[in-house]
Structures are given as C-alpha cells and as structure tokens.
C-alpha cells in the first residue's frame, strides 16, 4: 500500500511538473524536534561539533538571549578554523541592530544580507523576502523547519508569548542539494556567479546510505514561472486516500488549494486543519477566517490553537508523508518568498508528526459552522476589506 501511494504521488508530481520533477533522495535519516528547547539543543550541539563549514540562512534573527548565544557559538567556530557563512533577510532583521551583524563580521563570520533596499531596482525589491530557515553543518547534517532565531521560538517565554513550532534534521543524500541551494542564493545575491572558491568546486562525495527516509527538496522563489511550493501542496493533497492533517500559522490558501481540500473530502479523506487563534500578524487571522465557511460546509474540520502562537508549518498525508519546512499555506509563500520545504516519505517520521498534531488538535478549539456564521457584521466587513489587500500580506 505504501509503495502504491508513493507511486501515485510521483505520477501526480510528474503531471504537474513534467520538466521539473524533483530528485528523490532515498537514503536519509530524519529526526523530528517537537519544540524549541529540543531543537536548539541539537542545533547548538551541531555548531560546537562542526569541523569544516557552517552555512546558515535565516529570515529573522533577534538580538536576544538566543541570538546572542548563536553569535558566541559562531565566533567560537571561526576561531577553531570553521568557515561560517550567514545569509539573513534584510527586511526580516530590520529591528536587529546593525551592531549585531557588525560584531559577527569582525569575528570572521561571512555575512550576506538578502535584498538590501535599492531604489535603482524600482519597487520590486520591497516585496521579496528570504523566508528560509536552514543550517548545514560539514555538508552532512541539515536543520530545517519553521524556527527563526529568537527567544519566543526557543521555549524561553510564557505560553501566551511563545511560538509553537516544529523543526527537523536530515542526514544523508538530500543534504548535498540543500547545500547547492544555499550556494546558489549566496552567489546570486553577491552577483558573482562566475566566481567560485576552490573548496566549493571540489567533487561531492556520494553520501552514505544511513537511513530509509525518502526526501524531495522543494525550493520556491519569485524567480520561478510557477509556484513549486503550491504545487507540492496540491499534488500531495491529491494523492491522499485516508487523512490530511495541516498545521500552518498564516492561512491564505487561494482557490486552488481550497478546491483540492474539498475534493479530498468528497472522495472520503478526513481533512483536519490546525490554525492559530492568536497571531503576530492579526490581519492574517481575518484573512484566513474568511475562507472558513466554504471549508466547513464542505466537511473540512478546523481547530484553532489558543495556548500558544502557532508557527509550525507541516502537512501530513495518510500518516506517512510529510510536507514540512519554512513555507506557509499563503500567497506570499507561494509566489513572493524564497522558501525551502521537504517532502519526507517515512512511516516512523510521519507517525511522530501525527501523534504530535493529534495531541495539539485535542487541546485546541473546534470551529463550528453555526458559531462562525454568527460573527458580527463589522467582522465580515473587515474581512472583505482585508481581502482586497490579501495578495500583499
């Protein structure tokens, strides 16, 4: 049954992306981190054990306890001879003082601010973000997921201010593709694609077969003619036969994803969405809730997490295949952000995600259609107004 479902997924992927079918890396070990404390313990341990290279690409880095700890660990890595590169989103880190990055630079960390404002390029630059969250250590271990670098992600704050997130690590064949994606961004932003260091041109060794998780890397960005991020969500929804579980903090799926979810329900698939009751971007709540009526009427179950601020980004298909990474189910992630998602096909990994999501769903508030329909006139008007600007949020 598992092989039949995977074959169906590949056929669907090929139908939507005949010229861009992603490489399936079949021999990987993946590890799920349920919360910030667990994730960052492994994250910092990997930095301390690095011997050759550390590559980081992050949307947001705060100058708080976690961010300061990262700066110290990276400086220590450079001191012992490790090459460290950091790509950070300029707009995402706008509130982070310039002195933070200047200090990193003086310590020997190579920095690249992504998309520094330049009116020579018109206004196109303003709407482009590097939303990826990724670290690659010694070309053999990668950390990905929804975690930014900040205390609210690390479990250091009270529940109402904490972000509920997920992260994971990969060892194996897929790491080499992640490394290539990082270097492509590094050289593309520096506009020196013809320049390569000798160490970057060395032949890549075949990764040892250290696990049985199949991984597809889905890299999305505004330079693509089609949204590969959205299509990965679509084909996986279309391949489901029993169950779809989705957790996402910013829910602006658009008509294609909504139709895909409703078709899944009609063919007998149970669809459950875990969405936030509170958000760091309140307008996104209004925008997301404007699509609830169609989904609830079509049989989709919606739950809102109240205890913490939901920030996890994962979709689980039939308890065995996960789409997980930095991308939200929203138009910005589909079309205007640089994102990195992984499709992980592994029963054990999927089972861990399912157990975690079901636990969160049990503690969340069920959204009922009749209650939702009784929301006030003012709320409905605000939803309509926000929808006019939904593309830009």
How confident is the model over 223-269, as pLDDT tens digits? 777 899 999 999 999 999 999 999 999 999 999 999 999 999 999 99
Per-residue pLDDT at 225: 74
CATH number at residue 266: 3.30.870.10
In angstroms, the CA 258 to CA 248 distance is: 14
Average predicted confidence (pLDDT) for the chain? 88
Q: Is 106 exposed, middle or buried (0-12, 13-18, 19+ CB in 10 A)?
A: exposed
Of 147, 154, 158, which is closest to residue 56 (Cα–Cα)? 147
pLDDT at residue 86 in the model: 98
Q: Where are the alpha helices (DSSP H) in the chain?
A: 2-16, 36-49, 65-79, 98-106, 175-190, 198-201, 228-239, 254-266, 282-289, 292-297, 331-335, 347-362, 369-373, 377-388
pLDDT in tens, 277-326: 999 888 888 888 999 999 999 999 999 999 899 999 999 999 999 999 99
The domain of 258 spans 2-392
Cα distances from 255 to residues 229, 274, 326, in angstroms, run: 15, 19, 21
Instruction: Report the alpha-carbon distance of residue 348 to residue 58 in Å, rounded.
Output: 28
**Cα distance from N-terminal residue to C-terminal residue, the chain:** 41
Integer Cα distance of 251 and 164 in angstroms: 16
Instruction: Quote the number of domains for the chain.
Output: 1
What amino acid positions are annotated as catalytic residues? 131, 133, 138, 311, 313, 318
């Amino acid at each position: 049954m598992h092989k039949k479902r995977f074959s169906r997924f590949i056929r669907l992927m090929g139908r939507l992306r005949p010229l861009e079918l992603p490489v399936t890396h079949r021999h990987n070990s993946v590890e799920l981190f349920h919360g910030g404390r667990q994730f960052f313990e492994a994250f910092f341990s990997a930095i301390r054990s690095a011997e050759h290279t550390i590559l980081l690409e992050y949307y947001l880095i705060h100058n708080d306890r976690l961010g300061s700890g990262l700066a110290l660990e990276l400086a220590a890595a450079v001191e012992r001879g490790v090459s460290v590169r950091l790509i950070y989103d300029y707009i995402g880190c706008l509130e982070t003082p310039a002195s933070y990055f200047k200090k990193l630079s003086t310590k020997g960390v190579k920095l690249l601010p992504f998309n520094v404002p330049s009116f020579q390029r018109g206004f196109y630059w303003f709407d482009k973000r590097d939303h990826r969250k990724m670290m690659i250590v010694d070309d053999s271990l990668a950390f990905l997921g929804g975690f930014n670098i900040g205390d609210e992600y690390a479990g250091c704050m009270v529940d109402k201010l904490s972000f509920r997130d997920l992260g994971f690590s990969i060892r194996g064949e897929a790491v080499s593709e992640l490394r290539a994606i990082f270097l492509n961004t590094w050289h593309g932003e520096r506009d020196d694609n013809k320049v390569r260091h000798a160490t970057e041109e060395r032949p890549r060794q075949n990764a040892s077969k250290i696990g049985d998780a199949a991984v597809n890397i889905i890299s999305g960005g505004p330079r693509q003619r089609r949204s590969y991020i959205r299509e990965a969500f679509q084909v996986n929804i279309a391949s489901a036969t029993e169950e779809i579980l989705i957790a996402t903090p910013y829910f602006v799926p658009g008509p294609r994803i909504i139709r895909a979810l409703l078709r899944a329900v009609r063919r007998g698939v149970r669809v459950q969405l875990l969405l936030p009751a509170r958000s760091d971007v309140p307008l996104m709540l209004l925008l997301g809730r404007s699509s609830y009526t169609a989904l609830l009427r079509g049989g989709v179950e919606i739950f809102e997490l109240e205890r913490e601020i939901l920030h996890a980004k994962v979709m689980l298909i039939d308890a065995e295949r996960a789409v997980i990474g930095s991308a939200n189910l929203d138009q910005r992630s589909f079309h205007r952000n640089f994102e990195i998602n992984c499709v992980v096909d592994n029963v054990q990994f999927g089972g861990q995600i399912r157990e975690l999501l079901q636990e969160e769903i049990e503690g969340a508030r069920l959204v009922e259609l009749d209650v939702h329909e009784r929301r006030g006139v003012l709320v409905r008007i605000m939803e309509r107004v926000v929808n006019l600007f939904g593309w830009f949020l």
